[in-house]
Chains A and B, each alone.
Chain A
Amino acid sequence: MKNDKLKMQKEGTGTAHYVVVKPGMTPKEIVTSIRSNSKVFLTSTGMRDAGQSDFKNRHRIYDLATLAPYYNNMGLFSAECHGGARWHVGVMNRKESPFEEIELLREIMPDVLLQTLIRETNLWGYRPYPKNVIEYVVSRIDIDVWRCFSFLNDVRNMRSVAEVVMKRGRLFQPSISFTDADWATNEYYLGVVRDIVNLCGGVDEIIVCIKDMAGVGSVKRIGTLVDTIKQAYPEMVIQYHRHITDGLAMPALLAAAEAGVKIFDVEEDSLVRFYGEAPILGVQAYFEESGIAVHVNRNAAEAAVQKVREWIGHYEWAESPFKGYDHTVTFHKMPGGAFPSSFEQAEQGEFLHFMPAILKVMSLYNRIIHYFDVTPGSQITWVTCSGIVNGYAKERGESGVDHLIELLTKFIDEKYLDLEAMEKEDQEEILGLFRNVPGDFKNLLIGNYGNLPMGWPPDWVYRSAFGKEWEDRLKERKVLSPLDMLEDDDLVKLRKDLSEAIGRTPSEEEFILYLMHPKDALQFIEFREKYGEAPLVLPTDVWREGLRKPGDRVEFELWGKPYCIELVSIGGEHEGVIHVVMKVNSKTRVYTVETPRAKKVDIRMAKGPGDIPAPIKGNVWRIGNPERGTLKAGDIVHKGEEIANIEAMKMENAIEAPFDGQIKEVCVKLNDFVSEGQLLFVLEEL
């Protein structure tokens, strides 16, 4: 790996020095450098949001790292390479940890600011974390630029992240979640910006981001918004994050630049599909032609665009089945980052054909309840709306879905959300709308995520979601930020839980992964104990498909030494087992691979408190003890009494009753060969 990295660094193009901002600079130095520079700057999202928007976040660091040498002298403001859903998908699907990614990128592109995207109290998960977890985690992640957003624009929720980041001397980039709707006025956003400035003590140590995550800001609108902010805060450095979904990104970016935005999110042209950011080379050319100078090493950018083409073909399988731009995004607001995963779920759930209807219902839904469709809000919207549509489809078929859309359209467009104005029958139906909503929707309604940007939804929404208890739940509604409500987690206990689950002391990184997503982190750790660094060293075709035919080989370096795995043969399946013969560094090895049809011998393992496990694997040569003879179900045993004996390699191991009890069940037979942890007895305490 090391040699590869050195080679990669050399490949970075050009000798001229393009680096303006780099790790180690204080936030103030960074802000001043950008502000005083006459050119505009670019952030590449090629290592995070590009993949999240169009490739389900499946781009592996193995491939992304090939761009790093070009990034190192591209003159980027930053490389967004971390956060959002990339963390969770890395742990679940790519089996890479965000820590490994940072370590690798720091080594290959030491001069580039690494950027993350963090969801205020929800960090990189989908629920609010308590303050002590936020502080613990944020203070231990080596990231330079912290873009932080709230799907409610509830700036109070950003406080802990802001404090830790600014105290560490890293750059905090608070964001306003932007959508284009009648209620989301420029004055409203200026209010959010004001809250941010108050939180961060001015504009000199932060860069503020306008996060247009669905790509819905019209060309005119975005210009006036930036103008409104710049008039109030002329010294503020603004970055514009905009998805291209509506097909109007290029002119919108230019309008923003002309209104005073200094930094723009772009991605490699060869990564661009339909839901990510604008192409770097196109933006550079369009801006320059329009008289806006762009700070970028064009040669390096071109080389990176070319490099992508070497591996992007391996990810075709991950692309969204919903192709093409979609200007109706300005109604349904599904953010670019949620597009591929939503379609993936629709495909797996076999309701892909209802997607147009779901998107339509989403556009109606977000006129009833106002927040921003970005994580976790976008998930709440998606699960709620797809659930409603699927419910109608299940009960009343396609005509039911049409009826739903008609009903809601009437309710919103004709009756202006006045429930009383609807006919009695329709009223009943609307009150049934949120009957089966997910728990997160209910949490949102009772203020567990924070305050909603336009105030709480009307009472009928509560009646619909909570039924008879709606008034009680309404009373419980919270007005405080989750930061001030949630009790601290017991970190000592959580670390102990993790140690017990994995049977050893976890590393600091493993513990943080566990804090974020406990179940998935455990699976990740288990996977990596089994398969080591396979996710990091294997090329993507081998990672996904393995070696296809005899003679195919994969070469890689591990810890400074060369290795080669060559396929000799794959046997036929026999009783759920396939034998694979491979040469590993010229030594032939046979691997027995179980297929999903492999016969699993069902061993009952001890689980409950009265379950007595086998302490070791071995032969149960005695059930009972010499004094009492064989024990059977119903017998009473006393604490410390030997109830069975297991022999392994000539050593006797007495199994003693852990308490006074009655034997409910003897789960093994004499002379059974048992595994470690296998259930021997069920004992009931007396």
Chain B
Amino acid sequence: MGKKINKLLVANRGVPAVRVMHTCRDRKIRTAAVYSTPDRLAHHVFMADSAVHIGEAPPVESYLNMEHMINAALQTGSDAVHPGWGFLAENEKFARMVMDAGLTWIGPPPEVIRLMGDKIQAKKIAKRANVPTIPGIIDVKDIKEIKKWLRKENVEFPIMIKAAAGGGGRGMVKVESEEELATAFSQAKSESMRAFGDDTILVEKYIEFGRHIEVQVVADEHGNIVHLFERECTIQRRNQKIIEEAPSPTLNENLRNEICFTAVRLMREMGYRSAGTVEFIFDTSTRKFYFLEVNTRLQVEHGITELITGLDIVSIMLDVAAGKKLPFRQPDIHPNRWALEVRLNAEDPKTFSPSFGTITRLQVPQGPNVRVSSGVYEGDDVPPYYDSLFMLLMTAGADRADAIRVMDRALGRNLRVEGIKTLQPLLLSIIRHPAFIAGEFSTRFLEEHHDELVSMFKEKDSEDEVLKIAKYVAEISALGPQGWM
């Protein structure tokens, strides 16, 4: 096709928007940002060459509003749209609208998004491509069906109820016992309806002590499909990843080859194009992996693959969307690092309840082998309406121990965020935990070690302590001697 991209609309905010814009800067592609009312002064708005207001705070009125998004692209003279991750990234209709408006869609074909967005369809295709899938039932209407399946297949709790349209950990509810079934079912349905506008449900056996392993794939429209090896994302809280690493410490060479080529086979089967990820759950006890889903978009944790391969996946997406061939073949890809990523969410590290507000001070980690992908700047507000992720912190090293050591420095010594609570203390406890260091953990790591991890939080830090003293000095300076003295 040979379409040239001169200006790109980034249909997103925060970390993904800023990430995409960095590559555009590298490529000398001008960018257009979109913003909701509370995001008027957000980081991504100032990163861009121009910016358009697209609506009020609630996502449905702004970042999920497809018409406003297309208008913004046309109004800013953009010729392509990158959806980032989240929001409209896996929305088939939006992809079509972008293309219908004569713009280049930076992502896989709408048909592929549709198929993979429906977990039921995806499962069917996986089976067709001989990819192992988790035992379960699809298109579940009520809990009677679930009970019937449990009896018939002799399945034991826990089980997983999933929104067919879900993703990114949303619309997934783990059920431990029959009593919880009704509430969990309606919660999954409701969350699914609210989040994705669809409440089709599937139910699967829950793999205990599973490990989450995924394969990054890139493909062009000329039939070339290359995997960029795997990532392991086993450390999760509430089904959302918080620490990822590449390569996976779980796999040996044989398994690694098998899982990577299985992913390529599946992607080839469906005619994939652009960057995408095939997610698997790895059962430690049987050493078997099962297909989970395909993410038809750039993923949060793509950065660690970039660190181990030296590639820029966003840049590849831009090239592929413009009709170019992949500039490499499978044998050219040689990962030679270990990389680790932690997600800094604006959340209470003990309870995970959201913590929004103004970032009054932000000191970003520096030093060798650190990559920071931030969605905010000092003084920025973290509004309550969107995802709590505000920064990704990645480190690399010659081996896993190296990468962990650098992460310890970055999290424990360099990073300072004031004004909001973050997962920083929890993340630090995790990477210092002997089981994590030994590589022995499952998706239940956090539940199993929660209290222990919290008890490892560093009690006091002199930087924090001096600010308490300063706060006192400020108050007394303003108010004078106090009655209690």
Name A residues whose Cβ lies closer than 8 Å to a Cβ of B. 58, 92-93, 317, 530-534, 537-538, 542-548, 554, 556, 558-559, 561, 563, 565, 567, 570, 578, 580, 582, 584-585, 587, 589, 591, 593, 595, 615-619, 626, 640, 642, 648-652, 654, 673, 676
Contact = CB atoms under 8 A, between A and B. Distances in A.
Nearest to B467: A584
Given A93-B484, A533-B465, A593-B478, A582 B470 contact: yes
A138 to B, nearest CB: 28
Contacts of A556: 469
Interface string B181-201: 001001100110011000000
A580 B473 CA distance: 10
A531 B469 contact: yes
A546 B190 contact: no
B471 interface: yes
Interface in B447-484: 462, 464-481, 484
Q: Which 4 A-B residue pairs are closest in the complex by CB-CB distance?
A: A546-B477, A532-B468, A546-B476, A591-B474
Contacts of B356: 649
Contacts of B469: 531-534, 537-538, 556, 558, 563, 565
B354 interface: yes
B187 A616 contact: no
A533 to B, nearest CB: 6
Nearest to B462: A559
B466 A584 contact: yes
Given A585-B466, A617-B353, A544 B485 contact: yes
Contacts of A58: 485
A648 B194 contact: no
Contact of A652 (B187, B470, B472, B475): B187
B479 A591 contact: no
B478 A546 contact: yes
Nearest to B461: A559
Interface stretch (B292-300, B301-309, B315-323, B384-392): B384-392
B468 A534 contact: yes
B195 A558 contact: no
A578 B478 contact: yes
B170 interface: yes
Contacts of A317: 481
A578 B479 CA distance: 9
A648 B353 contact: yes
Contacts of A650: 170, 195, 386-387
Contacts of B480: 545-546
Specify which of B194, B356, B473 lies most central, judged by the most chain A CB atoms within 10 Å of its CB.
B473
Interface residues of B, number: 42
B96 interface: no
A585 B356 CA distance: 27
Contacts of B361: 587, 589
Contacts of B479: 546, 578, 593, 595
A538 B472 contact: yes
A556 B468 CA distance: 14
B190 A593 contact: no
A198 to B, nearest CB: 45
B187 A547 contact: no
Interface string B50-91: 000000000000000000000000000000000000000000
B404 to A, nearest CB: 27
Interface of B: 170, 183, 186-187, 190-191, 194-195, 238, 346-347, 351, 353-354, 356, 360-361, 384, 386-388, 462, 464-481, 484-485
Contacts of A617: 353-354
Contact of A570 (B190, B472, B477): B477
Contact of B473 (A534, A558, A616, A648): A534
Given A563-B466, A649-B387, A652-B190, A531 B471 contact: yes
Given A93-B484, A619-B384, A548 B183 contact: no
Contacts of B468: 530-534
B193 to A, nearest CB: 9
21 contacts: A93-B484, A531-B468, A532-B464, A532-B469, A534-B473, A538-B473, A544-B485, A565-B469, A570-B477, A580-B478, A585-B466, A591-B470, A593-B474, A595-B479, A617-B353, A648-B353, A648-B354, A649-B356, A649-B387, A650-B387, A673-B384
A422 B191 CA distance: 86
Nearest to A652: B191
Contacts of A595: 478-479
Contact of A92 (B386, B477, B484): B484
Given A531-B469, A591-B475, 13 more contacts: A93-B484, A530-B471, A530-B472, A532-B466, A542-B473, A546-B473, A563-B469, A565-B473, A580-B475, A584-B466, A587-B361, A648-B353, A652-B190
Contacts of A565: 469-470, 473
Nearest to B356: A649
Contacts of A538: 469, 472-473
Contacts of B190: 626, 652
A19 B92 CA distance: 87
Contacts of B473: 534, 538, 542, 546-547, 554, 565, 582
Which among B353, B386, B481, B484 has the greatest number of chain A C-beta atoms within 10 A? B353
A649 B345 CA distance: 11
B460 to A, nearest CB: 8
Given A533-B469, A582-B470, A618-B354, A593 B475 contact: yes
B132 to A, nearest CB: 31
A649 B466 CA distance: 32
Contacts of A544: 476, 481, 485
Nearest to A589: B470
Nearest to A563: B466
Interface-centre pick from B360, B387, B479 (highest chain A CB count, 10 A): B479
B183 A640 contact: yes
A544 B472 CA distance: 10
A651 B385 CA distance: 10
A429 B295 CA distance: 92
Most chain A CB inside 10 Å of its own CB: which residue of B190, B191, B469, B475: B469
Contact of B472 (A534, A619, A673): A534
Nearest to B464: A532
A118 to B, nearest CB: 26
A548 B195 CA distance: 54
A626 B186 contact: yes
Given A538-B472, A584-B466, A591-B470, A652 B354 contact: no
Contact of A532 (B183, B186, B465): B465
A558 B468 CA distance: 12
Given A93-B485, A616-B353, A652-B190, A558 B476 contact: no
B191 to A, nearest CB: 5
Contacts of A570: 477-478
A531 B472 contact: yes
Contact of A548 (B186, B477, B484): B477
B196 to A, nearest CB: 12
